[in-house]
Chains A and B, each alone.
Chain A
Amino acid sequence: MEYFLQQLINGIALGSIYGLVAIGYTMVYGIIGMINFAHGDVFMVGAFLALIAFLALLAIGVTAIPLALFLVLIVAMLLTALYGWAVERLAYRPLRGSHRLAPLISAIGMSIVLQNYVQIAQGARVKPLPPLIPGGYTLIEGGGFAVQVSNVQIIIVVTTLALMTVFSWLVSATRLGRNMRACEQDLKMASLIGVDIDRTISLTFVIGAALAAVAGIMYLLYYGVIDFFIGFIAGVKAFTAAVLGGIGSLPGAMLGGLLIGLIETFWSAYFSAEYKDVAAFSILVLVLIFMPTGILGRPEVEKV
C-alpha cells in the first residue's frame, strides 16, 4: 500500500510534466490540425535555456536559489516562446493551406534542426545539475517503507496546477482565448469575421512553447540531467497523452499526461522498467481502438 502511494506521487509529478508539453500539441492540433513534431524539441530547448540561464546567474553572483529559479523561469519562458514563434514563422506559416503532409514533413525537419543546433552549440554530452531543491516530507511511515514527497514534486504539481488555472482562464475569458476558440472551430470563417488568424496562431505557438519551457525546467529539476535528445521521447509521449485525452481538448491533454505518467511509473514499479514505453504506447493503441476520439475528445462528424 505504501509502495503504491509512493508510485502514485511519482506518477503524478511525471504526468504533470507530460501534461504541460501535451497542451502545446493539443492546442496546435486543435487550431491548424497539424502534428507539431518539433514541439518535443522546443521542450528540450526550454530545458537547455533554463540550465544555461541558471549557470549564468550563478556566474554573475545570484546565489539565492528561489530568486535565481524565478528569474530562470521568466528568461526560459520568454526565450523559448521566441523559439516557438520563430519555428512557426519559418517552417509552418509558408505552408498553411497546403496539403496535410507538408507541414508534418517540415516539422520533422525542424525537429532535426533544433536537435542538431543544440548538439552543436552545447555539445552532445549529458548536462548534469546538482539537486537545487533538496528535502521533502515523509507522509506515512510504516511497514519498513516511508512514503515521501519531495519538495521538487510539490513544486511541479503546484506550478502545473497554477499554470493550468491561468491557462484555462486565458482560453475561456480573454479576447485571445475567444479568437483561439473561433480559429479552432473554423479558420476561414474566423478570418472572415475579423479574427487576425496569423496573430492568433502565432500566439498559440508562443503559449505552447512557454508552457513547454516550464515543463523543461521541471524536467531539469526533477531528473537533474538533460541532453539534446530528451525532446524526442518526451515529445512522443506527450503527443500520446494529447491523443489519449482527446486531441483538441485542454483538460484532456492534462488528463492524458497524468495517465501516461501514472501508467509509466506503475509499469516500471510493478513489471519491468525496460518495457515502460511499450506499456504507454500499448495503452494508446487500445484506447484508440475502443475510444477513437480519446477520453474527453468530441466525436468528429465526417461530412461529405
Chain B
Amino acid sequence: MAVPTKPATSPRSAKLDVAGALKDAGLTAFVAFGLFSLMLGLRTETGSTGRLEIFPRPGLLATAVAAVFAGRLMIALIARSRVAADIGRSLQAMTPEFKKLDRFATPVLLSLVLLTPVLLYSEHYLLAGILVLAYILFRWGLAPALLALALLLPILFYSNRYLLDLGILVLTYIMLGWGLNIVVGLAGLLDLGYVAFYAVGAYAYALLAQNFGLSFWICLPLAGILAAFWGVMLGFPVLRLRGDYLAIVTLAFGEIIRIVIVNWQSLTNGPNGISGIPRPSFFGLPFNDSEEGFAAHFGLEFNPVHRIIFLFYLILALALLTNFVTLRLRRLPIGRAWEALREDEIACRSLGINTTNTKLTAFAMGAMFGGFAGSFFATRQGFISPESFVFMESALVLAIVVLGGMGSQLGVAIAAVVMIGGFEFFRQFEQFRMLVFGIAMVSIMVWRPRGLIATRMPSVFLQEKKIIPADIIDEARQ
C-alpha cells in the first residue's frame, strides 16, 4: 500500500541531509515529549497523608526524550545517507562467494565429525555435540538439526537443571503452537481462546488424578478427549461465524472458562488452585528413592534430575506426535479440505465440502492437542491455578504461530525458541521483561508481517513440488 516515500531517501541526494534528519528527529522528540510528559515526567505515589501525591521526575523525562531524539536522528541519518544501501549492495555481491564456500563446508565438517570419537574419549562431550549438530545443520538443514538438538539436550546438559526446565517450557509452547497451527495455520480459523483447552486438559488431569486416582497415562488421552469435546461444544454453534466474530467468541469462551474455574470453588478450589497433583511415573515406576522407584529398578543412583529428563523426553514425544499427526493429516482429504477452506471458503462450499464439519474437526484436533499439553503442564508443575490460563497465554501461542509463519511447522518451532528463550534471557531485567517482549512482538511483525518462514510448501502438487513465495499467498480471505 501507499507508504509515503521520504524525498531525501532518493539516490540523487548524495550528500548527507543533516538538516532534514535533524528536523525529523526534532519532530519525533516533540511527539515523544507529549507522550512522556505526564506519564514519565510525573509519578503518582501515596504520600504521607495517605492520599495520592505527585512527584516530578524531570531528569527521567529529559533522558527519555533525548534517547528518542538520538535514536531517531541515527535512523534518519542512516536512511538518508547511502551507507545502508551500500552495505546492502556489498552483501548481495558477496552472496556468490558464500555459495562457493558451501562446497567446502561438507568435507570440512565431515572430517571434523570424524574427530568426534576422539572428543568423546577425552570427555569433551559438549564440543562433540556441537560438531554433530553443525554437521546435521549443513548436511540436512535446520529442522533435523533442531530435532537433534532437542534429542541431545538432556545428554549434553545433564547437570544443568535450569536449561532443562527452559527446554521443557519451550517444548510445551512448541506443542501448543503446533496444536493451534492446525486451527489457525491450516484451517484459517482465528482462535483467541486456545488457552481454554489448555486449561480443560490441565484441570481434567488434576481432578481425575486426585479424585479417582487415575494414572497419568490414563488421564492423558482422557484429557485430550475432554478438550476435544469442549472444542466441538464451542465450535458447533459458533463456527458458522466469520473470522473476526469467531475470534471474539473464542476470546469470550477463554474468559468464561477462566471465570468459572475461579468461582467454582467446590470443584476447582478457586483462585487458590489445585496442589499436590500426582507426578508422572515411568510406566508405573515412580521417580523417588524408594525400593520400587525408577532409579532402584535400573540400578542407578537416585537423582531428581531423572524426572526432569523424563519430562523433557515426554513433552518432546508429545510435540513430535502433534507434528507427525499434523503432517499426516495434511495429506488426507480432511487436511486438504482445511487448507482449501483457508484459501477460499466459498469455493470450498461450491465444491461440496461440508465446511461446518471441516472446521469442527480442525477445532477439535487443535483442542485435543491443547488438552494433551495442558495435562502435561499439570503433571510437570504439580500445581495449577487459574492464573496460568489467562488471555496472555492465548495471545502468546497465537503470536508464536503467526510470527513463525502460519502453517509452517518449522517456523512455529523457531518462533517458540526465539520468543520463550528471549523472554527467559531478559529474566534479570524482571521489570522490563514484558515491555521488551511487547516491543519485540510489534517489531518482528513490522519487519516480517508474514512470519519468519513465509514460504509455503504445497501438500498436493502436480509433477513437481514448488515453494510458494509469500507475496502471492492471499492469506485467510474470509
Chain A interfacial positions (CB closer than 8 Å to B): 29, 33, 35, 45, 48-49, 51-53, 55-56, 58-59, 75, 79, 82-83, 86, 90-91, 93-106, 108-113, 115-118, 120-123, 125, 127-130, 191, 197-198, 232, 236, 239-240, 243, 247, 274-275, 277-278, 281-282, 284-285, 288-289, 292, 300, 302, 304
Contacts and interface: CB of A to CB of B under 8 A. Distances in A.
A301 to B, nearest CB: 11
A277 B259 contact: yes
A108 B441 contact: yes
A95 B441 CA distance: 13
Interface of B: 1-4, 31, 34-35, 37-40, 42-46, 51-54, 184, 190, 237-238, 240-245, 247-249, 251-253, 255-256, 259-260, 262-263, 346-347, 391-392, 395, 398-399, 402-403, 406, 431-432, 434-435, 437-442, 445-446, 449-450, 473-476
Given A83-B35, A243-B245, A278-B259, A129 B52 contact: yes
Nearest to B403: A105
Contacts, number: 191
Contacts of A96: 1
A49 to B, nearest CB: 5
Given A112-B437, A198-B2, A300-B242, A95 B446 contact: yes
Given A56-B54, A82-B31, A109 B442 contact: yes
Given A56-B38, A120-B431, A127-B44, A35 B248 contact: yes
Given A79-B37, A239-B248, A110 B442 contact: yes
Contacts of A83: 35
A52 B252 contact: no
A304 to B, nearest CB: 5
Contacts of B241: 288-289, 292
19 contacts: A35-B247, A51-B44, A53-B38, A56-B38, A99-B473, A105-B402, A108-B395, A115-B438, A116-B434, A122-B44, A123-B43, A125-B46, A128-B52, A198-B4, A232-B391, A274-B262, A285-B252, A289-B241, A304-B347
A102 B237 contact: no
B259 A274 contact: yes
A280 to B, nearest CB: 8
A278 B1 contact: no
A99 B450 contact: yes
B442 A101 contact: no
B249 A284 contact: yes
Contact of B402 (A56, A102, A111, A278): A102
Contacts of A236: 251-252, 255
Given A130-B51, A191-B2, A277-B255, A109 B438 contact: yes
